[in-house]
Amino acid sequence: MKVHPHTRFVLPEALNAGEPPEARGVSRDQVKLLVAEGSTVTHTRFDRIGDHLRPGDLLLVNTSTTLAAAVDGTPYTVHFSTSLDDGTWVVELRNGGRPMFDGTAGERVELPEGALTLLAPYHGNRLWIAKPPVDDVLGYLRRHGRPITYDYVGKRWPVASYQTVFARDPGSAEMPSAARPFSFELVSHLASEGVLIAPIVLHCGVSSLESHEPPQPERYDVPAHTARLVNWVKANGGRVIAVGTTAVRAIETAAGSDGTVTPSHGWTDLILSPDRPPHVVDGLITGWHAPEASHLLLLESVAGPEQVQHAYNAAIAHNYLWHEFGDSCLLLR
What does the pLDDT look like over 115-128, one tens digit per residue? 999 999 998 889 99
Return the half-sphere exposure (C-beta side, CA atoms, 13 A cut-off) of residue 204: 29
Q: What percent of the chain has pLDDT over 70?
A: 97
Residues 121 and 203 in one domain: no
Residue 278 belongs to a domain: yes
Distance of alpha carbon 293 from alpha carbon 298, whole angstroms:
10
- Give CA–CA dist 292/126, Å, rounded: 18
* Least confident interval from 13-22, 26-35, 132-141, 149-158: 149-158
Whether the CB-CB separation of 53 and 190 falls below 8 Å is answered with: yes
Beta pairing class for 32-37 and 40-45: antiparallel
Domain boundary residue, one of 144, 176, 199: 144
Q: Choose the weakest-confidence range: 34-43, 209-218, 311-320.
A: 209-218
pLDDT one-digit tens code per residue, 259-317: 999 999 999 999 999 999 999 999 999 999 999 888 999 999 999 999 999 999 999 99
Whole domain around residue 23: which residue ranges? Answer: 13-66+158-332
Same domain, 41 and 133: no
**275 within domain boundaries:** yes
27 and 86 housed in the same domain: no
- Given 113, 144, 175, the domain boundary residue is 144
How does the average pLDDT of the chain come out, rounded? 95
According to the model, what pLDDT value does residue 209 have? 57
pLDDT tens digits for range 128-137: 999 999 999 9
Cα distances (Å, whole numbers) of residue 93 to 79, 96, 110, 141, 217: 6, 10, 12, 16, 19
280-297 burial string, b = 16+ CB within 10 Å, else e?
A: bbbbbbbbbbbebbbbbb
Do 80 and 47 lie in one domain? The reply is no
Both 219 and 307 in one domain: the answer is yes
H-helix or E-strand spanning residue 314: helix 305-317
Is 161 in contact with 19 (CB distance < 8 Å)?
no
**Based on the domain organization, do 268 and 176 belong to the same domain?**
yes
How much is the pLDDT for 208? 62
Residues 86 and 216 in one domain: no
Q: 76 and 62 share a domain?
A: no
Alpha carbons 315 and 306: distance in angstroms, whole number = 14
Domain boundary among 144, 178, 201: 144
Report pLDDT for 97: 83
Q: Answer yes or no: is pLDDT of 26 > 70.
A: yes
Q: How far apart are CA 262 and CA 214, in angstroms?
A: 25
| CA–CA gap between residue 201 and residue 77 (Å, rounded) | 27
Whether residues 305 and 181 share a domain: the answer is: yes
| 307 close to 283: Cβ distance less than 8 angstroms | no
Distance CA 45, CA 35 (A): 10
Which segments of 181-300 are extended strands (E)? 196-202, 218-222, 240-243, 264-268, 283-286
> Distance (Å, rounded) from C-alpha 25 to C-alpha 30?
10
